[in-house]
Copies of this chain bind each other. A is one copy, B any other.
């Protein structure tokens, strides 16, 4: 196709007669020698490779920005080192689990807070509900294990749902996850900062700046690359894990000493009757302990080879630890007859009861605050990758495909940080009201991805597919129960935002995709147009058939206000091209126009001149009108407007000039076949 198009090209020999040897030998030979050699290294085949010096602006500011960047983010990494940037399992576990494990700090409490509404008698139901949740955890965990195995190159809900249920389901899952990740960052950072400011009250007036600083630190840490971020952020999660496991062990030792007698909870009056709805709500609230369980499935590519095998191992560990923590804490709370209190979390009550003295209570509380802060890090790990997969399919801007110079998906990280910071500032740092918005998005993604897996197994019918489909089906059904319960019961409390936002996001994604499809279709080289008798690729309507050079007919236009050096340089530039050229002068008065024509004649009239009277003293509209009318009456011409321009030293000085080029460009933007540019004249210093 390309060859057929190229076969019709005719270019003059002059085009190929380069005045320079483009390769480095020549670059090195002459005036800019030193610099060119610093910038590019040729290899034996003549292939140039940019050195790090070529990557920053050669100005004082460019060097300063480059230095700061290097200080904050470290040396750029080449693509070849991507494998070294992968995470070992011991780092992947805390990085990907911080969101999931931190959820046990509030999950059991959320469940009991619903049950206690039906009176203290209903609290006994916590054990069967917890058992159901453990079943859900096992089902979803096993389900994701199967998913990782089936999609070894990245098994996120978006990919699985797109693949098995169609693009719409994939986008719905993606929209849910995106909302969830952004909210996770805002909410967990502001919760962590609240813990800090309650310990250091002097910081309280600065809680929003402190929260923004925390987001900034998370952003920079993640921009430095996966490995660095993992090393920095792993320790607090292990500390939290050790603290809670220690608490559970000590709690059971203490309970065993007491013969496992159950302490009756303090009597609480029932605010509503015990109904199925209350049980379902308690189930759905407790299920928030599971948010973050999907982290591994999106992150398969960050593991070392064999990626899927390592991911599965980490996933199994994560779910195992989650079940131990969740079940252990729920059981201990039940044994000790604890009930939710406004002034203290259940975790804090349990820690105080178990460790009445010593530093343990403080350690548990500090580790909990820290891990809540770091739960945001899981989102920084996962969202950019989700956006990458979506950008590959054209549903979000392609810039999310860009791998930064530290091999991190920089644009996704920045977008997440900005979105979370905007929400945080908009809510003045008080994001508690956003918590009801959580569960809906994430359980939508669970439900869709597991339903997708059921379809996947039915489609492939590999050995044991019935068993696998049953496991995924169970996970999907339980997730769907949580999803519907959460959406219905929390609708008025804020879930309606999510219910509205998800279709809106899907609409945006589809609009973006439609635009990219349109561009691709319009710019692609289609086979059938190659055989088109008129020659050339399908042109836009009233677009010149300008795909082979011999068909391009040029006319250069030069708007000239005054015959100064800038104008003369522009006219010389245009005149030297050997193509037809016409100068244009817009004048408010006939006298001025005559004077300008006389000046033009004095100069020698080397280029034809047309003067236009503008009786109402406007400049750009008649100029743009003339150019566009010329183009309309001669659709075979390619018009190039070259505006003389002065390059000023300081940005403020731009206010002192008229910016003809930008105005003209805007006015002519919608007309095809018109190139607007400017010939810069630099001031002598």
Contacts and interface: CB of A to CB of B under 8 A. Distances in A.
A634 B19 CA distance: 9
Contact of A516 (B16, B569, B656): B656
Interface stretch (A101-109, A236-244, A520-528): A520-528
A428 interface: no
Contact of A47 (B405, B515, B613): B613
A646 B672 CA distance: 11
Interface string A549-581: 111111100000001111011011111111111
Nearest to A406: B616
11 contacts: A15-B575, A15-B577, A18-B555, A20-B555, A27-B630, A36-B633, A49-B614, A79-B588, A519-B683, A523-B681, A549-B576
A16 B574 CA distance: 11
A35 B635 CA distance: 14
A549 B572 contact: yes
- Of A17, A550, A573, A608, chain B has the most CB atoms within 10 Å of the CB of A573
Interface in A33-60: 33, 35-36, 39-40, 47-50, 52-59
Nearest to A599: B2
A515 to B, nearest CB: 5
Contact of A656 (B402, B512, B682): B512
A217 interface: no
The A interface, classified by DSSP as helix, strand, loop or mixed, is mixed
Interface in A568-610: 568-569, 571-582, 586, 588-590, 593, 599, 602-604, 606-608, 610
A150 to B, nearest CB: 29
A464 to B, nearest CB: 39
Interface in A73-130: 76-80
A48 B602 contact: no
A418 interface: no
Interface in A612-644: 612-618, 621-622, 624-626, 628-635, 637-638, 642
Contact of A537 (B57, B525, B565, B647): B565
Interface stretch (A3-11, A167-175, A179-187): A3-11
A187 to B, nearest CB: 27
Given A564-B525, A568-B5, A682 B675 contact: no
Interface stretch (A202-210, A297-305, A338-346, A540-548): A540-548
A395 to B, nearest CB: 11
A45 to B, nearest CB: 10
Contact of A682 (B2, B540, B582): B540
A569 B3 CA distance: 15
A349 to B, nearest CB: 50
A617 B2 contact: no
A16 B607 contact: yes
Contact of A602 (B2, B564, B569, B667): B2
A62 to B, nearest CB: 9
Q: For the complex of A and B, list the 8 residue pairs with the smallest distance between their C-beta atoms, beginning with the closest.
A: A32-B632, A6-B604, A677-B677, A32-B633, A552-B576, A549-B576, A549-B575, A50-B622
A455 interface: no
B57 A621 contact: yes
A655 interface: yes
Given A50-B622, A57-B621, A675-B680, 9 more contacts: A6-B602, A11-B576, A14-B578, A19-B637, A32-B629, A58-B628, A549-B573, A552-B572, A675-B678
A519 to B, nearest CB: 6
A31 interface: yes
Contacts of A153: none
Contacts of A546: 569, 572-573
A469 to B, nearest CB: 39
B590 A47 contact: yes
A33 B606 contact: no
Given A625-B58, A670-B59, A614 B50 contact: yes
A458 interface: no
Contacts of A398: 656, 658
A405 B588 contact: no
Interface string A663-678: 0000101101011111
Interface residues of A, number: 154
Contacts of A275: none
A684 interface: yes
A22 interface: yes
B522 A3 contact: no
Contacts of A512: 656
A25 to B, nearest CB: 11
Contact of A630 (B9, B32, B572, B637): B32
A550 B522 contact: no
Contact of A3 (B33, B603, B658): B603
A110 B279 CA distance: 78
Contacts of A33: 633
A403 interface: yes
Contacts of A677: 675-678
Nearest to A548: B572
A611 B675 contact: no
A198 interface: no
B19 A54 contact: no
A516 B658 CA distance: 13
A463 to B, nearest CB: 38
A531 to B, nearest CB: 16
Contact of A515 (B29, B402, B653): B653
A12 interface: yes
Most buried by B among A22, A613, A648: A22
Contact of A541 (B603, B606, B642, B684): B684
Nearest to A7: B604
A29 B633 contact: yes
A537 B603 CA distance: 14
Contacts of A499: none
A48 B670 contact: no
A679 interface: yes
Contacts of A56: 621
A30 interface: yes
Nearest to A22: B610
